[in-house]
Amino acid sequence: MSVETAPAVLEVRNPADGSLVESLPIDDARAVNEIAAELRMAQVGWEAIGPEGRAAWLHRWRDWILAHADELTDLLVSETGKARPDALIEPVASCEFISYYADNAAAFLADDHVKPAGPMSLPKKLTKVYSPYPLVGIITPWNFPITLFLMDAAPALAAGCAVLSKSSEETPLACARLIEGWHEIGAPAVLASVTGLGETGAAVVDAADYVQFTGSTATGRKIGVHCAQQLKPYSLELGGKDPAIVLEDADLDRAVNGIAWGGLFNSGQVCISVERVYVAEPVYDDFVKRLTAKVDGLSQGAGAGSDVGAMVTTAQVDIADRHVREAVEAGARVLTGGQRGRAGNFFEPTVLVDVDHSMSCMTDETFGPTIPVMKVADEDEAIRMANDSPYGLSATVWTKDVDRGQRVARRLEAGAVNINDVFSNLFAAPLPHNGWKESGVGARLGGAYGIHKYCKVQAVTAPRMPTMKNELMWYPYSARRTAVAGFVAKAVSGRGLRQRLGLGGKAAR
């Protein structure tokens, strides 16, 4: 993987005003490898204490996080520029991932005794056995430093893995403090974080036995190629351009409130943020009027009373600004917002209309507080436009007819669809969180899958009854033994009496 030369110190600045929050030393590849070696040694004992023992430590960690929620929220506000209500959700709600996997680890990791597929395997006991990858590398982006870490760290730790975390260089503080909490409760030394830029992330990829990456599609491709070259398993959650479909029978009050929040929460910097809206023609004008009034009434700033906060990076503000300007130049109209802030990484909550798929605001990931709205003739056109994208992370459908919403959901090319809601799949741990098309490879969460992904699965066969000294198909071969073996194979593999007896004819289905 290509990497950039890293400076010796990383400066973390507040996106709202540019002030220096903290300076941190950068971990180079040698430091990463040393930490990884220590984690591997500790992992042996961590796996040995079993799922119940690990669950006890995870529960204590959850309690520490809840007790330090205000401190963690302060760190999130300072390094991300989030509005405080947006930041508070992270440490509190994310504890659900710890509870879910700690409580279910024993059941999910139990030996899985499966039924034989047919007569050939009937004499055997068939078992799937799960054992953890020793070291999992988790690389997270800057938009949700705690949530996206815990979504992966909780099941990995519950599985018996050690975890090496690398947060975005823009937001390393809150996650590092979270990991300090693990050590403050006296838990086994199977969790660590490293700080740095591309070189540090590349070292984590090389050091780990399994890599979980959340971030841009471009970087995800590079990591996927690198892991494939090493025959190393990986999972990627990448970009998104999530559509919302508002049908003519929707509850417009709920649709407006949900889409406004789903498009602007965390300044639109959410992997499953509503990034484009398709509204059926009969209700289009009414919806646009209500949405514009809703967004126009929101407050923006860094204080606790603000609805919409700052964006984490200047580069992301530039993208939002460019998408809006390009749309206006191509004929779109800004109904509210549309301007970047005079200071700090702010961009006004924005509603765009008269948009189409020739515009970057409808086709490229904005990851900012903009809501472009497009009029469509009917349900079929809405679905066609929603699917006209290289991305497929999630989508929302708004209709009073839930059965209709279910039918529409099954026609959408997205890993998750929320009917009359936004983000609800994100905290439904029994469901997989996965992207289709260019939005990812693999999944996180998904009940037992979320913990099995961090395990190697072993197939074990054992006899159900006393065995013979020699099997029919073992050496030595002879014409008689071969004929008998062929007859037996047909008898057990065929379907229908004539086929089992080798008499030909159509088999019973």
Selection from 412, 377, 392 nearest residue 275 by Cα: 392
Report strand pairing: 135-139 vs 124-132.
unpaired
How much is the pLDDT for 87? 94
Report strand pairing: 432-434 vs 436-437.
unpaired
CATH superfamily of 242-428: Aldehyde Dehydrogenase; Chain A, domain 2 (3.40.309.10)
Calculated CA dihedral for residues 492, 496, 498, 503, nearest 10 degrees: -60
How much is the pLDDT for 508? 47
Selection from 355, 350, 363, 354 nearest residue 321 by Cα: 350
| pLDDT, tens digit (0-9, with 9 covering 90-100), for 198-247 | 999 999 999 999 999 999 999 999 999 999 999 999 999 999 999 999 99
How much is the pLDDT for 499? 63
Calculated CA dihedral for residues 364, 361, 263, 401, nearest 10 degrees: -90
Q: Which residues contact 332 (CB under 8 A, 6 or more apart)?
A: 352, 353, 354, 355, 359, 361, 372
How much is the pLDDT for 488? 80
Q: Which residues contact 476 (CB under 8 A, 6 or more apart)?
A: none
DSSP state of 68: T
- Is 237 annotated as catalytic? yes
How much is the pLDDT for 506? 55
Q: Where do the structural domains in the chain lie, given as residue ranges?
A: 28-238+448-458, 242-428, 468-501
pTM confidence score: 0.93
Q: How far apart are the first and last CA of the chain?
A: 53
Per the CB < 8 A criterion, the answer to whether 448 and 423 are in contact is no
Selection from 430, 462, 456 nearest residue 443 by Cα: 430
Catalytic annotation, pick one of 47, 79, 90, 237: 237
Distance CA 17, CA 301 (A): 10
Per the CB < 8 A criterion, the answer to whether 411 and 434 are in contact is no
Task: Report, as ranges of residue numbers, the positions in the chain whose pLDDT lies below 70.
Answer: 1-7, 494-509
How much is the pLDDT for 502? 62
Q: Is the peptide bond before 476 cis (omega within 30 degrees of 0)?
A: yes
What is the Cα 62 distance to its own chain's centre? 21
- CATH code for the structural domain at 28-238+448-458: 3.40.605.10
